[in-house]
Chain A
Amino acid sequence: MATAEATIQTPALAAPKTGIWSWITTVDHKRIGIMYGVTALFFFFVGGLEALLIRIQLAKPENAFVSADVFNQLFTMHGTTMIFLVGMPIAVAFFNYLVPLQIGARDVAFPRLNALSYWIYLFGALFLNASFLLGAAPNVGWFGYAPLTMNEFSPGLNVDFWSIGIQILGVASIMGGVNFITTIINLRAPGMTFMRMPLFTWTTFVTSFLIITALPVLGISLFFITFDRFYGTQFFNPAAGGQSVLWQHLFWIFGHPEVYILILPAFGIVSDVIPAHTRKPLFGYAMMVYSSVLIGFIGWGVWAHHMFGTGMGPIADAFFSISTLIIAIPTGVKVFNWLATMWGGAIRFTTPMLFCIGMVAFFTFGGISGVHHGVPPASLQQTDTYYVVAHFHYVLFGGLIMGIFAGLYHWWPKLTGRFLSERLGKLNFWLFVIGMNMTFFPMHVVGLLGMPRRVFTYPAELNLGHINMIITIGGFLTALGALVFAINVIRTFRKGERTTDPNPWGAHTLEWATTTPPQVYNFANLPVVRSREPMWDHPEEMLAQTTGEPKAPIHLPPPSYWPIFTAVGVILAMALMMTGKWWPPLIGAAWVGIGIINWAYEPID
């Protein structure tokens, strides 16, 4: 593929351009990372609003705040948004910004493909949410079980928006996975061996393999749904011999690796943040690497623990139960290693460190209820109750979100040259802790008392009204914490404490061997790495190489509008399936073809 590149002779010419067109055509991993982050955080608030509406409805029994149909749309979109529009993209935001910096590269392997992934994500997210404008948001749960998703039971546009919208997002993810695997294998600086890479880069690597293997399974499964709905195929039609349980198998073969896709980046973040704020190397680096890889592999063998209620038989149940319990082992290894890293360290209770501690604590707690689910007899009582909701929110909010916020507070000064306020940060943290536990701990109780999931109300006779009210209040406290974060961000841009220190936290990894904020070309000269903690072992040597005047001309890829052009084609191809006719999607395909050809033959300067 011909790559167009512009030669930058001096840092002065490297000054980033401003204006919206420069963002639309950017291929700079740092800008793409920021765009991913801003978009993901926006949808975090959207998904949070959906959660609050759910909680208002459930605050009292037999409430009529929203109808059952609207409730179904709310919980479906809350889950879909948080997983596909927040959880995965925010991780990609971090992958984008940090991985090239952590391995000593100037950009990712395929910068224009990187931009394409972002634009497809953005347009896909807008497509999915456009369903609200038609009052037809997806309403079948984020996992869309057959036969509910068939025309017979869901005649409206809701399921079409869902199956097509997620398909679009999956395409973006797979491209990103390919990009990061290639980047990490092929663009490491001299001396940056695999076993010297920061843990965050390692988890990016493992996550990317999970993405490129799991998402295609989902993609094909979604085509089965779309084809059943639009073109009359019989994949899930019982009258034709089709089996609804096949959907469950296919979905969860994707779905379980998906949850590791969600959590591994957070594992990587705290593995890099904790050492920085305890001034102590990560305990058991090699085991942390191997356990990440092992989690990736074993994660493929546990999917049917989501299906213990489907009557698979004792052999299948036993197999998946054992594999599920086994995967707790490498995960537990990580927890102990984080604790061992903190033990004896000079802990600074900064906001990033607090979020790390919260992550370790609450993820472990959620992991324990996960082990409970892994035992089929117990699972049969817990399935479809709030016990499950409690589990996955502890691991996803307590684990993923807290990990993400640790990363946000930790890397914010590097990105922006300003510190987020510690005072507001701590307030953010404690509101999350109190709110989150007030919301999700009681759910274990109401779940075991029999309150079912995904139902828009519950009878007064269950006597669960008071607990549900407490849960709802917890939700609003959490929301307040999110608001405090937003205020912190705004306030920081206005009058945050500034820094130009390359390494304000005194951290150990290569991304801190750059100016603050980094130059567009990242490193004046690519460093020669000599250790696993280069910024602790040889900081002056690193900075001497990486900051200051470049010794040789720097080649950076020039901006391009073909990625956004091609992204429009991808959306068209998918969205035009809604017409129900076979030929309109081909228009989108042709558009994509035109985009790709122009992209491939963009002139070399």
Chain B
Amino acid sequence: MNHTAVAQGPNQHHTSTGLPMFKLGFWVFIGSETLLFGTLISTYMIYRGESVTGPFPKDIFSIPLTTFSAFVLLMSSLTMVLALAAVKRGDRKLGMRWLLTTAALGSVFLGFQAYEFTHFAAEGLTMGSNLFGSTFYLMTGFHGAHVSIGVFWLLALWLEGLRGGLGQDSAVRVEVCGLYWHFVDIVWIAIFTFVYLFEV
């Protein structure tokens, strides 16, 4: 058996696999999160077409708008990759810049979500209106909450950089933030496909 002592920086455990503890644990957590979003999306799919009263998806979805916000989120995953690459290279300033950009793009996405929610509400779709409203708002609401937490995390890392941190030994923590961010992005790809595009 390979007993690997990994140079992960001071005060880190030896590990049986060579994988950093935080990264491994976080992958496990992401595994459980897939069940969380899976339940929400499945319930949406089960109740699709079952609403007794409107508004219905076709009435109020704006595919062009949502396509653009999905693109924004996708691009934020790119900037996240660039942030991690910079931190790994030891380029603190560039890492900070890309982290801030990622947070900004994520916030733009959230802005679009906020606009969409208020617009839908004005059109008569609240979470209590019908099954579509209930399942839609809970599913995208949970997703939005996850994006928000991600934005906070990114800003915390950026602040760390501001205080002189964010050196190469913080690469694992930035990578884990990236894992979370990419996961949240992939969930949106799933939602965008099964919820929005399926109505086209």
Contact = CB atoms under 8 A, between A and B. Distances in A.
Contact of A182 (B1, B3, B24, B50): B24
Interface stretch (B27-35, B59-67, B94-102): B27-35
Interface string B127-155: 11111011101100000000000001000
A472 to B, nearest CB: 41
Chain B residues touching A, majority SS: helix
Interface in B90-133: 126-131, 133
B144 to A, nearest CB: 14
Contacts of B129: 234
Contacts of A600: 156
A187 B15 CA distance: 6
Contacts of A177: 28, 32
Nearest to B126: A232
A178 B22 CA distance: 11
Q: Which of A188, A239, A240: most chain B Cβ within 10 A? A: A240
Contacts of A232: 126-128
A233 B129 CA distance: 8
A597 interface: yes
Interface string A178-192: 110110011110111
Contacts of A242: 47, 131
B17 interface: yes
A178 B32 contact: yes
A256 to B, nearest CB: 14
A350 B35 CA distance: 44
Interface stretch (A154-162, A210-218, A369-377): A210-218
Contacts of A239: 52
Q: Which of A179, A182, A242: most chain B Cβ within 10 A? A: A182
Contacts of B17: 185-186
Contact of B11 (A186, A233, A604): A604
A109 interface: yes
Contact of B21 (A109, A174, A234, A597): A109
B128 A178 contact: no
B164 interface: no
B128 A220 contact: no
B46 interface: yes
A231 B133 CA distance: 12
Interface residues of A, number: 47
A234 B10 contact: no
Given A109-B21, A182-B25, A241 B131 contact: yes
Contact of B128 (A174, A233, A597): A233
B193 interface: no
B3 A190 contact: yes
A110 B21 contact: yes
B80 interface: no
Contacts of B152: 593
Interface of B: 1, 3, 10-13, 15-17, 19, 21-22, 24-25, 28-29, 31-33, 35-36, 39-40, 43, 46-47, 50-53, 126-131, 133-135, 137-138, 152, 156, 173
25 contacts: A3-B12, A109-B24, A110-B21, A177-B32, A178-B28, A178-B29, A182-B21, A187-B16, A188-B16, A190-B1, A192-B1, A215-B32, A216-B32, A217-B35, A220-B39, A223-B138, A227-B127, A231-B128, A232-B126, A233-B128, A234-B134, A235-B131, A240-B131, A250-B39, A555-B11
